[in-house]
Chains A and B, each alone.
Chain A
Amino acid sequence: EAQVTQNPRYLITVTGKKLTVTCSQNMNHEYMSWYRQDPGLGLRQIYYSMNVEVTDKGDVPEGYKVSRKEKRNFPLILESPSPNQTSLYFCASSGLAGGPGDEQFFGPGTRLTVL
């Protein structure tokens, strides 16, 4: 089954404690992206990657890091989480053929609470 998986699905942590949210896709997609969803703001892009070792900032990158060492994985790293990073996080992936088939498939979401 084609899917994007995220772990953990729920996480409660404290300010300053480094954490990683993993994302993996099994569709051989070149493009992967992280979004955060906050009430009244929709989803906003944090970081994206066009391929292995190619990453770049989205709209709200402050306080986050990413890496793309393998095509299937795109972890999101919060080195020193703060309460304003409490949010719902989505990983997404897609192809890059340039047509309508480049639908972004979303993972199930990770609910992060930083105390």
Chain B
Amino acid sequence: AQTVTQSQPEMSVQEAETVTLSCTYDTSESDYYLFWYKQPPSRQMILVIRQEAYKQQNATENRFSVNFQKAAKSFSLKISDSQLGDAAMYFCAYRANTGRRALTFGSGTRLQVQP
């Protein structure tokens, strides 16, 4: 069974600084995707960034980028120039491209942004 582990329950960053959230996963599949979701106080699940496992190049979306280390099964999220609006719970998630397509989530990291 696939598992996703986020070992940092809480993180804090100063506004305009950079922070990295960690995620590791375990799978025997070769065709899969990895995601970072943001959940603000509104509880809406918002997709931040995704990475296809077959792509070596790390995904980037504006201030958000990932460090995907396939052999180590590591998938960290870097947030640059942190803004107050980045404060939220962040979930790392895995999804195989076959079978029941379930997203397997980590337990989340709560990010605080200090002004």
Q: What residues of A have a CB within 8 angstroms of the CB of B47 in the complex?
A: 103
> Which residues of chain B are near A59, meaning CB under 8 Å?
102
CB of B114 closer than 8 Å to a CB of A: no
> A45-B103, A48-B101, A92-B103 known; 20 other A-B pairs, CB under 8 Å?
A33-B101, A35-B103, A42-B4, A42-B93, A42-B107, A43-B103, A43-B105, A44-B105, A45-B100, A48-B100, A48-B102, A90-B45, A94-B101, A100-B50, A100-B52, A106-B45, A108-B42, A108-B44, A109-B45, A111-B43
Beta-carbon contacts under 8 Å, A60-104 to B: 88, 90, 92, 94, 96, 98, 100, 102-104
Contact partner of A88 (CB less than 8 A), chosen from B33, B43, B95, is B43
CA of A88 to CA of B44, assembled, Å: 11
Among candidates B44, B95, B103, residue contacting A109 with C-beta atoms closer than 8 Å: B44
When A and B form their complex, which 9 residue pairs have the shortest distance between CB atoms, in order from nearest?
A42-B105, A106-B45, A45-B102, A43-B105, A109-B43, A42-B107, A40-B107, A100-B52, A42-B106
Known: A42-B107, A43-B91, A100-B33. A108 touches B102 (CB 8 A): no
Give a binary string over A22-33; 1 marks a CB under 8 Å from any B CB, 0 the rest.
000000000101
Rounded to whole Å, the gap between the CB of A34 and the closest CB of chain B is: 11
Chain B 79-109 interface 0/1 with A at a Cβ cutoff of 8 Å (1 = within): 0000000000001010101001111011110
Chain B residues with CB under 8 Å of A104's CB are: 95, 103
CB-CB under 8 A from A43, the residues of chain B are 45, 91, 93, 103, 105
Return A85 CB to nearest CB of chain B, in Å.
Answer: 18
Chain A positions within 8 Å of B, measured between CB atoms, are 31, 33, 35, 40-45, 48, 56, 58-59, 88, 90, 92, 94, 96, 98, 100, 102-104, 106, 108-109, 111
